[in-house]
Amino acid sequence: MSGNIYYFSKHENTGMSKDQEIRTRYEHLKEFCQLTWDDGALFRLDTAFEFAGEILGEQKFPHGEMILDHSLDVASIIAMEIGLEPDSVITGLLHNVRYAGLKEKATEEEISKRFGVHIYAILDGMAKINALGTDTIDLHSENYRKLMLALAGDVRVILIKIADRLQVMRMLDLYQPEHRSKLVNETLYLYAPLAHRLGLYAINSELLDLCLKFQKPKDYQYVVNRLKETEIERAGFVAEFVKPVEAKLEKRGMKFSMKARTKSVSSIYNKMQKKNVGFDEVMDLFAIRVILDSNPEDEKTDCWMAYSIVTEEYQANPNRLRDWITIPKSNGYESLHTTVMGPHNKWVEIQIRTKRMDEIAEKGLAAHWKYKGGKESSYDSWLAGIRDVLENQEMNVVDFIDQFRTNIYSDEIFVFTPKGDLKKLPQGASLLDFAYEIHSKLGDTCVGGLVNGKKVNLKYKLKNGDHIAIETSNNQKPKMDWLDFLVTSKAKTRVKASLNEERNSRAAEGRETLVRKFKNWKLDLNDEAIRQILKKFGFKLAVDFYYEVAIGKIDPLEVKAIFVEKEDESTKKTVEELLPKQQTRELEYDSGEDFLLIDNNLKNVNYQLAQCCNPVFGDRIFGFVTIKHGIRVHREKCPNAAQMRERYPYRIIKAKWRETTTKKSFLTTIFISGTDEMGIVSEISHIIAKDIGSHMRAINIESNKGHFEGKLQIYVNSLEHLEFLIQRLQTVKGVTLVTRGDK
């Protein structure tokens, strides 16, 4: 656990007076701020420090700590460890100038005049939280509304309060035992989770470490001692591990840095408890990180190249490859993770990322707030809504923490109607569940709504404290796919009942449509015809068949094909019969109108390449006219071709590529296998990276008992280009088979 680097004045005898010590620590903070702040901001910082000194002087908290010491620590955490802008640091210095225990507090007028109304607003939020204290028993709902309003106002209130709590936890040994227990519980269930959600991962880890230190001092000290005992051994291992990798990366001309990151004490302890193992049995005590200095357009290629170099030097565990570069995590995290067998047969986790990826991983949501000016975030709605959770007039601080913990970790959520009524719903409930919870008719006609003043759709998953207003339309009706995301039984039951009514009505429409079509085709829709139809499509009841016709799942032309042989029509005529006119205007055909011409630039929005077989320019192709999505272009050897020709022959059209010299990239899949030779992955990556015109989207290699199998997703220009690339890969030593895949 890392301590605060500017605490020396409170723990060492420097020979300076208290005033000199504080001045020295302030100058240390100012030197740090001078690296990025302008003169105006630094002047305001000086003004804030002098003002705080005048108000706070040498006054102390009940536990004996000087208030100015605390304020300076908090400001330093905000600047150095969270990295917020000048206003937040200045607020950190000033956040106790209205502390309830002061002999003379600063006034609103003084603060607003010297530092601005916005600074006072943040300070006011901090003052309300601080005034609540941690040992108060009988606080009423009004106090809590103030607390919630403070939290839900400027997001910097929360960030500064987290910095304040980190400083308190670092000085926890000054507090009385009964106060420590409350502070630890608040930190565990409120401040540490908030820090994690804001992306303040280092602070979250330190808060959890400090909680463990005071809750289970023996267990904490055991892990700390073992880490110290093994520190030299780990450092030696890391040095031995990185040396050959650094050499190879430098040889390739790559710019990079490498570092080892040890897990936090609490993380190691929790893993020991969860897996019921001793310290020596925790395999991933640390990870080695490779951070590349890459241009934006080269990031993925460089990461995979570094991966190839690492796995060329050390054997990788194929089951531990985590590719969060091709598909980043939902929180934006990008990195390649793998586990390799290092020196002395020890497994070690390797993380490969670029500087940009590392900055996002390190700063998380806090960085997002910082770059957005600290006012916008995905948690604003939660912070705005949770202030109304507390309805109990007698609820105190401990009750609030318990309520917070329950809301975060239980299977229930609490949301509010526009009038402020509290509604309880199961975890995962949607906006539509809420609508049905209020009234069946409201659910049937719901088209969306407002959550905390922002528009959302029916599927929006509700969060604790959301304020919800439902929007309706008389044209809206329950739909079958609603059942896919509804959670409450009340909502599902109502939708099913409505759908049965709707189904019978739509089935009648479907029958009318079919009768009209049969009349136009001069066919008789009699009982025998219906029997043939039901047998062909596998329905027991005619109502089910008619419903499918009404909703467009069964095309009347498909029914017609049962009774009439397909005429030998031109491709153009077939397309015009199946598609609306607006979708056929820009389509082009050969001179005989027998072939649809496919441009390799795919400019026409009315046809797309099928993802089931990924055709590339030069493949033999055909078109399939879909019901809702225009024309899909398939390879003649598509795995679905036989089924399409058998079931929907009237939707198959002839197609061919337009001759062109323009190059366009097409995504294709290559399967590759062979013996697991040293450096084979690097060689494969090298061939693709150096090939002009090809670009690798993803690579997945698995090795087992000396044999490897891989799947590559690559962009190529044409069939000729693809075949050339396959031939190149077949020349790699150890490769025994290279084939083209469908996906």
**CATH code at 472?**
3.10.20.30
- Position with higher pLDDT, 359 vs 603: 359
What b/e sequence results for 74-108 when a residue is b if at least 16 CB atoms lie within 10 Å of its CB, and e otherwise?
A: bbbbbbbbbebbbbbbbbbbbbbbbbeeeeeebee
Q: Which two tokens stand for residue 459?
A: 């599927």
Q: What was the pLDDT predicted at 651?
A: 84
Nearest to 542 by CA among 533, 552, 550, 551: 533
Q: What is the pLDDT of residue 536?
A: 86
- Same domain for 18 and 163, yes or no, is yes
- The model's confidence at residue 549, banded by pLDDT at 50, 70 and 90, is confident
Residues in the chain: 743
Query: For residues 309 and 301, what is the distance between their CA atoms, to the nearest angstrom?
Result: 12
Which amino acid is residue 572, in one-letter code?
K
Check pLDDT > 60 for residue 375: no
Q: What is the pLDDT of residue 114?
A: 92
* The 607-609 sheet, strands edge to edge: 596-598, 652-657, 621-625, 631-635, 607-609
Same domain for 279 and 355?
yes
- With a CB cutoff of 8 Å and minimum separation 6, the contacts of 231 are none
666 or 327: which carries more pLDDT confidence?
A: 666
Give yes or no for residue 154 having a pLDDT over 60.
Answer: yes
Percent of the chain residues past pLDDT 70, beyond the cut: 83
The pLDDT of residue 387 is above 50: no
For residue 63, is it within any domain?
A: yes
Q: Please tell me whether residues 151 and 12 are part of one structural domain.
A: yes
Q: How many Å from the N-terminal Cα to the C-terminal Cα in the chain?
A: 48
Domain boundary among 657, 687, 714: 657
Domain presence at residue 566: no
For residue 623, the cross-strand partners are 633, 653
Cα three-residue angle 736-740-742, rounded to 5 degrees: 140
Q: Are residues 37 and 102 in the same domain?
A: yes
**C-alpha to C-alpha distance for 244 and 429, rounded to whole angstroms:** 53
Residues 120 and 258 in one domain: no
* Residue owning tokens 């500017």: 6
Can you give the pLDDT at residue 139? 34
Which of 449, 480, 371 shows the shortest CA–CA distance to 83?
A: 371
Are the C-beta atoms of residues 415 and 431 closer than 8 Å to each other?
no
User: Do both 168 and 138 map to the same domain?
Assistant: yes
Residue of 90, 106, 93 lying closest to 42 (CA atoms): 90
Q: What is the CATH number of the domain that holds 168?
A: 1.10.3210.10
Amino acid in the structure at residue 64: G
Return all residues near 496 (Cβ < 8 A) that are at least 6 apart: 483
Lowest mean pLDDT among 67-81, 367-381, 414-428: 367-381
Domain count, the chain: 6
* Phi, psi of 430, deg, nearest 5: -100, 175
Same domain assignment for residues 470 and 361: no
CA distance 29 to 25: 6
- Under the phi-then-psi rule, with left for phi > 0, alpha for psi from -120 to 50, and beta for the rest, what region is 420? left
**Cβ distance 365 to 198 under 8 Å?**
yes
Higher pLDDT, 305 or 694: 305
Q: What is the mean pLDDT of the chain?
A: 81
Confidence of residue 148 (pLDDT cuts 50, 70, 90): very low
Flag whether pLDDT at 573 surpasses 50: yes
Contact indicator for 577, 557 with CB cutoff of 8 Å: yes
Q: What is the pLDDT of residue 395?
A: 34
| pLDDT of the residue at 128 | 62
Residue 429 pLDDT > 90:
yes
Give 40's pLDDT tier (boundaries 50, 70, 90). very high
Residue that is written with structure tokens 């290629």 in the block: 301
Integer angstrom CA distances of residue 128 from 98, 195, 569, 739: 10, 20, 80, 68
- Segment 625-653 shows an average pLDDT of 86
Per-residue pLDDT tens over the stretch 233-242: 888 989 999 9
465 in any annotated domain: yes
CATH of the domain at 292: 3.30.460.10
Position 245 pLDDT exceeds 90:
yes
Q: Per residue in 86-119, pLDDT tens?
A: 888 999 999 989 887 888 988 999 999 999 998 9
**What's the pLDDT band for 80 if we cut at 50, 70, 90?**
confident
Residue 338 in domain: yes
Residue 147 falls within a domain, yes or no? yes
State the pLDDT confidence band at 364, using cuts at 50, 70 and 90. low
Instruction: Specify whether 544 is located in the same domain as 583.
Output: no
Average pLDDT rounded to a whole number, residues 1-21: 52
Tell me, yes or no, whether 114 and 178 share the same domain: yes
Residue 378 domain-assigned?
no
pLDDT score of 335 more than 60: yes
The radius of gyration computed from the CA coordinates of the chain, to the nearest angstrom, equals 34
For the cut 50, the answer to whether the pLDDT of residue 397 exceeds it is: no
Residue from 256, 253, 254, 278 nearest 268 by CA? 278
- In this structure, the answer to whether residues 60 and 183 fall within a common structural domain is yes
* Domain range enclosing 234: 226-371
Are both 88 and 192 inside the same structural domain?
Answer: yes
Confidence at residue 121, expressed as pLDDT on a 0 to 100 scale: 86
Tokens standing for 697? 């989207």
Question: Averaged over 13-34, what is the pLDDT?
Answer: 84
Average pLDDT over residues 30-41: 90
Mean pLDDT, residues 409-436 taken together: 79
Whether residue 718 contacts residue 710, with contact meaning beta carbons closer than 8 Å, is answered with no
Split at pLDDT 50, 70, 90, the class of 127 is: low
Task: Identify which of 304-308, 380-384, 476-480 has the greatest average pLDDT.
Answer: 304-308
- Whether residue 133 lies inside any domain: the answer is yes
Can you give the CATH number for the domain in which 735 is found?
A: 3.30.70.260
Q: Which residues contact 530 (CB under 8 A, 6 or more apart)?
A: 542
Given a contact cutoff of 8 angstroms between Cβ atoms, the answer to whether 523 and 563 are in contact is yes
Nearest to 468 by CA among 492, 440, 434: 434
Task: Report yes or no on whether pTM surpasses 0.85.
Answer: no
Judged against a pLDDT cut of 90, whether residue 302 lies above it is answered with yes
How much is the pLDDT for 692? 61
Q: Is the pLDDT of residue 445 over 90?
A: yes
Residue 230 and residue 336 in one domain: yes
Cα–chain center distance at 190: 22
Domain-embedded: residue 565 = no
| Whole-angstrom distance, CA of residue 733 vs CA of residue 681 | 11
Q: What's residue 359's pLDDT?
A: 75
Out of 657, 681, 701, a domain closes at 657
Could you tell me which residues are beta bridge partners of residue 700?
711
Domain boundary among 657, 690, 720: 657
Query: Measuring CA to CA, how many Å separate 282 from each of 211, 273, 343, 641?
Result: 21, 11, 17, 52
The first and second tokens of residue 627, run together, are 């019901």
Going by C-alpha positions, the residue among 555, 592, 593 that lies closest to residue 573 is 593
Q: How far apart are CA 267 and CA 261, in angstroms?
A: 13
How many Cα atoms are found within 13 Å in the side-chain-facing hemisphere of 403?
A: 17
Instruction: Write the CA distances from 682 to 307, 317, 346, 624, 650, integer angstroms.
Output: 8, 16, 23, 40, 48
406 by DSSP, 3-state: which? helix
Predicted confidence (pLDDT) per residue in 341-350, tens digit: 999 888 889 9
How far, in whole angstroms, is CA 306 from its chain's centroid? 25
Residue 402, pLDDT score:
42
Scanning 415-555, the segments in alpha helix (DSSP H) are 431-438, 440-444, 489-520, 527-537, 542-550
Among 392, 363, 381, 402, which Cα is nearest to 190's?
402
Q: Which residue has the higher pLDDT, 161 or 388?
A: 161
Grade residue 221 by pLDDT with cuts at 50, 70 and 90: very high
State mean pLDDT over 353-364. Answer: 77
Q: What is the pLDDT of residues 654-711, one digit of tens each?
A: 898 887 767 788 889 999 999 988 888 888 888 887 776 678 888 888 888 889 899 9
pLDDT given for residue 373 in this prediction = 42
Phi-psi region of 453 (alpha: psi -120 to 50; beta: other; left: phi over 0): left
Alpha helices in 57-155 (DSSP H): 67-76, 86-94, 108-115, 117-132, 141-152
